[in-house]
Every structure is written in structure tokens, then in C-alpha cells.
């Protein structure tokens, strides 16, 4: 697997990286609220979204949070190492590159069938940036930011 991202995508990653930096303070408030609920034990959340009330265009999101038997520093360091090595993505149509010490860029292409016979397909290109933020007294956060097209 190549560790280089396509050069024509560098502007996309620069834009995602700048947006990620501007959203950090919003994320800090969310993580603070999530951290408080995680301290109480395991939590589960299931959300279903439907566009225009149609059953066919539904999205389901399931979140499960629980306390890990390791400290925050150990957990975030391990997750970051997995991201850097490309362990998050096992698809042969994905590329991962380290943009700086605390930033990793990911580029993937997925082919999705439009009908049950696979006679029509569409390619979905995904660009993502994961940035590690070190926050005093809170450990590190690894928020991803993605762009689909």
C-alpha cells in the first residue's frame, strides 16, 4: 500500500485541516459532555434519520461508549499509532499519509451498487483528516473530519 496521497487532493486535505482547527473549541464542549456521561458507565445511543419521511432513504447511527481499562494517554497513543499504520482502513483503494506529527490524511474510494443486480454502480471518494489535539488535564482527542464526493 502506498503511503502517499494523490497530489491533486492536497488542497482538499489543507481545507479539511483548517476546518478541523476551527472546530476544535466546539469539539471540546462536546467531549466534555460525553466524558461526563462516560464516567457514569456504559452508554448507548441509536439514531435513525429519514429524508422526507421515505423509508428507503434512511440512515442509522449507533454509538456505544464505555470506560476502558486503560488511562487516557495510553488509549489515545495506541489509537494514534493504529491510525498512522493504516490499521483503521483495510481497503486496497485507500491511502493514508502522515501530513505532520499530529495530522494524518486518508483518501478512499468505494464502489456502491445502485441496484440489487449490481448492473449500475457509483464511486464514492472520501477524504478525511485526523488531528491529535493535546489538552491539559484531559489527554488527547482524535477528531476526524471527512469530505465525501
Is residue 121 within 8 A of residue 113, CB to CB? The reply is yes
Number of compact structural domains in the chain: 1
Q: Which residues does the chain have with pLDDT short of 50?
A: 1-5, 7, 38-39, 149
pLDDT at 13: 76
pLDDT score, position 2: 45
Residue 31 lies in a domain: no
Range of the domain at 140: 7-25+47-148
Residue 126 lies in a domain: yes
9 DSSP assignment: G
Give a yes or no: residue 36 inside a domain.
Answer: no
pLDDT for the residue 34: 60
In angstroms, the CA 49 to CA 64 distance is 18
Amino acid at each position: 500500500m502506498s503511503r502517499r496521497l494523490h497530489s491533486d487532493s492536497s488542497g482538499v486535505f489543507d481545507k479539511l485541516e483548517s476546518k478541523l482547527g476551527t472546530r476544535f473549541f466546539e469539539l471540546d464542549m462536546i467531549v466534555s459532555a460525553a466524558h461526563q456521561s462516560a464516567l457514569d458507565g456504559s452508554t448507548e445511543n441509536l439514531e435513525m434519520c429519514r429524508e422526507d419521511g421515505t423509508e428507503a432513504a434512511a440512515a442509522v447511527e449507533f454509538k456505544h461508549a464505555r470506560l476502558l481499562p486503560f488511562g487516557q494517554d495510553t488509549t489515545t497513543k495506541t489509537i494514534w499509532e493504529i491510525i498512522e499504520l493504516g490499521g483503521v482502513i483495510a481497503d486496497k483503494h485507500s491511502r493514508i499519509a502522515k501530513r505532520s506529527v499530529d495530522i494524518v490524511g486518508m483518501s478512499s474510494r468505494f464502489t456502491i451498487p445502485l441496484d440489487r443486480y449490481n448492473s449500475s454502480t457509483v464511486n464514492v471518494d472520501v477524504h478525511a483528516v485526523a488531528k491529535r489535539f493535546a489538552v491539559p488535564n484531559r489527554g488527547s482527542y482524535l477528531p476526524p473530519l471527512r469530505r465525501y464526493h
